[in-house]
């Protein structure tokens, strides 16, 4: 059947889904969680001290630069404080659309890391910081969006333990304190390989650790001179892993991550998915969570099981790309509703 035979709703119904193995591959959350706002009677007014002398507009403008921990503490001071915090537009948007974020940031012990305005800006964005595709996830330590595939292939988005960051980037314990640090949340992760982590450990981001190392040492060459990866001291797998971390790109990827050939080069990610959560986006007045394509899953299965003729492959796979790896990675890509329709009509209904 051709594109003209399907309405938009029929396309969504037949091709769109949200695969649990991807959604649950990162920190597990209940995306339906919403904070409950307490109804406060107008005449009930407990004081906020000197802040009571300021107009509500001034309080809102000031409070939007506070972090979540400060706002939550302020809301506990008095009913007046609670009313002001809960009426803050950026706070309300977050609480209504991404209420699960509060609990996760608290469990990771980073409630005070980001201002509510920073998190609100992420809520109103949609693009992956690494490849500019739709980003269905939020990196907790940087409050930036990312996609599932870049979590897999771009090591600058990976997490790293503090001892490993110290060893890899030649940092002292004192210098490590300058990094954003979170406590991991025990659970099962799969980006893309399954791992179970039952102990909470301190983690930071590879990108942040490398940026700090460049400030401390001046250059990668200076780091390599001072802290060489000696085969006599380290096993091959450890050298490969530390080299991979040191090569982390500090800018967005220069090519489509679906086309990157890193087979046999990319080491196993020991902390896969432990620094990201599913995160909605507010687009055109509505909330979107990201959609994945069942058509891409079926295409990969067809190729893997039955093979595919060259004409079809040339239409689906860019020239020079490994067909199996490209089609496998297309399953990982999320789309906004508008982009999903364009993708489905071009690839699966043409």
Report the pLDDT value the prediction gives residue 1, as an integer from 0 to 100. Answer: 44
Looking at the fold, whether 173 and 304 belong to one and the same domain comes out as no
Looking at the fold, whether 274 and 147 belong to one and the same domain comes out as yes
Looking at the fold, whether 141 and 226 belong to one and the same domain comes out as yes
Report the pLDDT value the prediction gives residue 285, as an integer from 0 to 100. Answer: 76
Looking at the fold, whether 265 and 295 belong to one and the same domain comes out as no
The answer as to whether 23 is a domain residue is: no
Looking at the fold, whether 95 and 157 belong to one and the same domain comes out as no
Looking at the fold, whether 35 and 119 belong to one and the same domain comes out as yes
Report the pLDDT value the prediction gives residue 38, as an integer from 0 to 100. Answer: 54
Report whether pLDDT(46) > 60. Answer: no
The answer as to whether 319 is a domain residue is: yes
The answer as to whether 332 is a domain residue is: yes
The answer as to whether 285 is a domain residue is: no
For the chain, the farthest-separated pair of C-alpha atoms sits apart, in whole angstroms, at 75
The answer as to whether 131 is a domain residue is: no
User: What pairs with residue 334 in β-bridges?
Assistant: 292
Band of pLDDT at residue 54, cut at 50, 70 and 90: confident
- The answer to whether 204 touches 181, Cβ cutoff 8 Å, is yes
Band of pLDDT at residue 40, cut at 50, 70 and 90: very low
Looking at the fold, whether 152 and 115 belong to one and the same domain comes out as no
CA distance 262 to 255: 13
Which of 85, 101, 123 lies at the terminal end of a domain, its last residue?
Answer: 123
Looking at the fold, whether 259 and 142 belong to one and the same domain comes out as yes
Report the pLDDT value the prediction gives residue 43, as an integer from 0 to 100. Answer: 43
Band of pLDDT at residue 2, cut at 50, 70 and 90: low
- The answer to whether 281 touches 128, Cβ cutoff 8 Å, is no
The answer as to whether 239 is a domain residue is: yes
- The answer to whether 316 touches 299, Cβ cutoff 8 Å, is yes
The mean pLDDT of 280-287, rounded to a whole number, is 89
Looking at the fold, whether 81 and 59 belong to one and the same domain comes out as yes
Q: Find tokens 């087979």 and name the residue.
A: 263
Which of 123, 158, 186 lies at the terminal end of a domain, its last residue?
Answer: 123
Looking at the fold, whether 165 and 217 belong to one and the same domain comes out as yes
Q: What is the DSSP string of 95-147?
A: HHH-THHHHHHHHTT-TTTSBHHHHHHHHT--B-TTT-SB--EEETTTTEEE-
- Give the residue numbers spanning the domain of 114: 31-123
Report whether pLDDT(45) > 60. Answer: no
Report the pLDDT value the prediction gives residue 342, as an integer from 0 to 100. Answer: 94
For the domain that residue 43 is a member of, what is the CATH number? 1.20.1280
The mean pLDDT of 25-36, rounded to a whole number, is 78
pLDDT digits (tens, 9 = 90+) for 319-337: 889 899 999 999 999 999 9
Band of pLDDT at residue 78, cut at 50, 70 and 90: confident
Report whether pLDDT(42) > 60. Answer: no
Report whether pLDDT(36) > 70. Answer: no
CA distance 313 to 317: 6
The better pLDDT of the pair 188, 35 is held by: 188
The mean pLDDT of 235-240, rounded to a whole number, is 95
Which of 91, 123, 155 lies at the terminal end of a domain, its last residue?
Answer: 123
Looking at the fold, whether 188 and 301 belong to one and the same domain comes out as no
Report whether pLDDT(81) > 90. Answer: no
Band of pLDDT at residue 349, cut at 50, 70 and 90: low
Helix, coil or strand: residue 74: helix
Q: Give the chain's domain count.
A: 3
Looking at the fold, whether 303 and 264 belong to one and the same domain comes out as no
Band of pLDDT at residue 51, cut at 50, 70 and 90: confident
The answer as to whether 129 is a domain residue is: no
Report the pLDDT value the prediction gives residue 44, as an integer from 0 to 100. Answer: 46
pTM: 0.91
pLDDT digits (tens, 9 = 90+) for 149-159: 999 999 999 99
Q: What is the mean pLDDT of the chain?
A: 91
The answer as to whether 92 is a domain residue is: yes
């Amino acid at each position: 059947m051709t594109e003209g035979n399907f309405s938009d709703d029929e396309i969504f119904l037949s091709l769109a889904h949200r695969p649990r193995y991807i959604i649950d591959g990162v920190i597990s959350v209940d995306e339906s969680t919403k904070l409950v706002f307490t109804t406060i009677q107008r005449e009930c007014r407990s004081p906020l001290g000197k802040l009571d002398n300021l107009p509500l507009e001034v309080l809102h403008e000031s409070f939007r630069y506070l972090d979540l921990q400060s706002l939550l503490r302020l809301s506990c001071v008095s009913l007046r404080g609670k009313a002001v915090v809960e009426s803050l537009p950026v706070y309300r948007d977050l609480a209504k659309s991404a209420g699960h974020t509060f609990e996760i940031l608290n469990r990771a012990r980073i409630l005070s890391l980001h201002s509510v305005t920073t998190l609100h800006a992420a809520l109103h964005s949609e693009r992956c910081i690494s490849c500019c595709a739709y980003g269905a996830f939020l990196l907790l330590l940087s409050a930036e969006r990312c996609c599932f595939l870049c979590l897999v292939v771009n090591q600058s988005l990976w997490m790293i333990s503090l001892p490993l960051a110290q060893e890899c980037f030649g940092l002292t314990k004192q210098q490590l304190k300058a990094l954003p640090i979170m406590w991991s949340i025990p659970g099962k992760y799969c980006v893309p390989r399954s791992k179970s982590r039952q102990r909470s450990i301190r983690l930071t981001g590879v990108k942040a650790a490398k940026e700090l190392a460049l400030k401390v040492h001046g250059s990668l060459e200076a780091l390599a001179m001072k802290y060489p990866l000696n085969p006599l001291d380290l096993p091959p797998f450890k050298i490969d892993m530390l080299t991979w971390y040191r090569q982390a790109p500090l800018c967005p990827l220069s090519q489509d991550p679906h086309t990157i050939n890193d087979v046999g080069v990319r080491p196993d990610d020991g902390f896969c998915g432990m620094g990201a959560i599913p995160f909605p986006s507010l687009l055109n007045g509505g909330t979107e969570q990201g959609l994945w394509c069942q058509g891409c899953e079926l295409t990969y299965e067809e190729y893997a099981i039955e093979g595919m003729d060259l004409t079809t492959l040339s239409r689906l796979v860019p020239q020079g790309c490994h067909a199996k790896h490209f089609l496998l990675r297309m399953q990982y890509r999320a789309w906004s509703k508008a982009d999903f329709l364009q993708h489905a009509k071009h690839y699966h209904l043409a």
